[in-house]
Amino acid sequence: MARRQGWSEEQIRDLENYEKRADFSAAERAALRLTERMTWDAHTVDDELWAELRQYYDEGQIVELASAIGLFNYFNRFNDALRMEPAK
């Protein structure tokens, strides 16, 4: 999916350093920050992050981002609990 959006192999391999990389846009970094916070501790998604997201996305897009993040987190937890490996 990231490749289809134009991300390079290097960006994908070095995703954990997105904050330091100049080749991610501010909007992408905000979305990735939301992803991190929702994944590690959803209680850290604060008003400041919502305000930052609103600079780049409308309400519908933010809901779509949060929904996709939540859904993939669910799939990952479900698959991890059942010890399922991703299909190749």
Q: For 9-53, how does the pLDDT look when each residue is reduced to its tens digit (9 = 90+)?
A: 999 898 898 999 999 999 999 999 999 999 999 999 999 999 999
Which one has a higher pLDDT value, 84 or 50?
Answer: 50
What's the rounded Cα separation, in Å, for the pair 68 and 4? 17
Report pTM: 0.83
Residue spans per domain, the chain: 24-81
With cut-offs at 50, 70 and 90, classify the pLDDT of residue 87.
confident
Burial 26-61 (b: 16+ CB within 10 A, else e): eebbbbebbbbbbeeeeeebeeeeeebbeeebeeee
Task: Say yes or no to pLDDT of 5 above 90.
Answer: no
Question: Which residues have a Cβ under 8 Å from the Cβ of 54 and sit 6 or more positions away?
Answer: 62
